[in-house]
A = this chain, B = another copy of it.
Amino acid sequence: MRPFDMSPDEFRRHGHEVVDWIANYLENTRDYPVVPRVQPGDLARALPASAPEQGESMDDILADFQRQVIPAVNHWNHPRFHAYFSVSASAPGILGEMLATALNVNSMVWLSCPASVELEAVVMSWLRQWIGLPESFFGMIHDTASLSTLHAIAAARAVADPDIRHKGAGQGLVMYTSRHAHSSVEKGALSIGLGRDNVRLIGVDSEFRMDPVLLRQTITDDLRAGLKPFCVVSTTGTTSVASIDPVAAIQDIADEFGLWHHIDAAYGGPAAIIPEMRWILDGAARADSLVINPHKWLFTPIDLSAFYCRRPDVLRQAFALVPDYLKTNQDGVAVNLMDYGIPLGRRFRALKLWFVMRWFGREKIVSILRAHIQWAAELRSWIEADPRFEICAPTRLSLVCFRLKSGDDASRALLDAINASGTAFLSGNVLDGRFVLRFAIGNVGTTHDDIAAVWDKIRSLAG
C-alpha cells in the first residue's frame, strides 16, 4: 500500500526499461559524440518555464530524457572522455548505487543506520590496506576532495589555534602547498576564513614537484616574520601534470616545524595499490591526513571521496556539536560520523564501493591501473615520435601533457577541433605560460584501441 507513489508494478516496468537503457548505453557509449553539440541556453530554453500542475507519465519523462537531456550531456562515462581526470561509473558500482538510492538511509549517527556506518568503516579499512596506510588512520567518506581537504585544513587550524572553536579565527596562521596543487586547497583555506594571502604557493622542480628546500626556506622566513606556520598540503598526482610531490621529504619538514601534513592523493592515490608504484606514498604513514577519491580512478560512481586522518580526536574537537534531538543510547559506544565533519546528512556511499572492491578484487584493479599507466607511456612515445608535437611534463601516472610546437594558438585550435569532432574530449591547461593539452586515461571502458583511435584523430586534425 503506497497510494501516493508510483505503484511497485509500475516501478518494476519502468525500472526494467531504465536498466535496459543503461545496459545499451554501456554497450554503445561510443555511438554518442563525447562533447554535446549545444550552445549555452539551448536546453533551458527547450524546457517549460514552470513545473506541471498535473503529473505526467513516466513514459513521457523518459522520452524527454532521451530526446532533450541526452543531446546536452557531456559523456563522462565515455571511454574516450580524456579531459580533467577520466572517471568511471562501472557496472558493479551502478548496481550498488541503485540499492543505496532505494534504501535512502542517512548515516549521521550509528543508530540512524548501523549498516551504512559500519560498512563505511569496513570499506575504508579495506582501501586503507590497499594503499598501504597503517591502521592508525581513521577513515570516513566525504562527497568530494574539496570537502575532504577543507576538513583537513580546519582540523590543522584547530590544533594550531585551540581557541578557535569558541573565540573564532585569529590572525597570523599560514599554510603551504605547491604552485601546482589543486585549486581546492586554496578554496578550502578561503572558505574557512584563512585568506588567500596566508596560503603560500611553493615553487616546484623541473618535474613540477614541490621543492622541499623552498618550502623550508619559506617556513623559516615566515617564522622570522612572527607568523605561525600550521599546515602543509602535498599532492600525489597533481591535476595540472600528475606530478608527485616528495611526500617523505615534506613530512620531515612538517615534523621539524610541527605542521599538520595533509596529502592530496585524490587522483593519484589508487596507483599505490600497484606494488611497483607503492613508492608514491612513501612517508604517508607519518602524515596527519590524506584524501583519495575512488570516484576518480577506482571505477566508483561519483560522489565518493575517502578521507583518512590519524587524529580523529581533532576532527571531533573541531566539528562535534550534538543537539538533544540527535542523542542516542549508543553515544560513546558507537562512532557517530556526524561528529567528525560538517554535513549532518550522509548518503550510503559505502555500498557502491563495497560492490566495486568485491566484484573487481585487488588483482584486477591492479591490472587495469597498470594498463592505464602503460597506455599513457605508449601514447607519450607516439607523441614524441611525431615532430609536430612536444611533451610538456613527465608521465608518471595516466596523464599525458603535450602541445603543438607551432604555438599556443595552434594548440588551442587543435583542442577545440578534437572536442568539436565528437571523437574525444580533452582539456587544456597553461604550464609555464604555455598552453598544453591534457590527455587523461582512467575510464574502465577505455581500450588500447580507443587510445590509438583518439591519437589518430588528433594527428589528422593537427593538419
Contacts and interface: CB of A to CB of B under 8 A. Distances in A.
Nearest to A126: B51
A387 interface: no
Interface stretch (A280-288, A359-367, A455-463): A359-367
Closest 4 CB pairs of A and B: A168-B195, A15-B19, A169-B193, A89-B104
Given A51-B129, A74-B113, A4 B105 contact: no
Nearest to A364: B55
A61 B123 CA distance: 14
A8 to B, nearest CB: 4
26 contacts: A2-B445, A8-B91, A11-B22, A14-B91, A38-B114, A40-B114, A43-B119, A44-B122, A52-B357, A61-B355, A74-B105, A74-B114, A77-B105, A89-B101, A93-B101, A147-B342, A164-B193, A166-B196, A169-B193, A187-B321, A188-B342, A295-B345, A305-B345, A324-B430, A325-B429, A327-B428
Given A19-B12, A126-B50, A344-B146, A106 B302 contact: yes
A325 B360 contact: no
A122 to B, nearest CB: 5
Contacts of A129: 50-51
Contacts of A417: none
Given A1-B449, A91-B11, A92-B58, A98 B22 contact: yes
Identical copies in the complex: 2
The listed residue with most B CB atoms (<10 A of its CB), out of A20, A150, A183, A319, is A183
A40 B333 contact: yes
Contacts of A76: 103-106, 112-113
Contacts of A70: 115
A198 B73 contact: no
A441 interface: no
Nearest to A71: B115
A256 interface: no
Given A102-B89, A363-B54, A114 B43 contact: yes
A224 interface: no
Contact of A6 (B11, B191, B359): B359
A193 B171 contact: no
Nearest to A37: B114
A381 interface: no
Contacts of A16: 16, 19
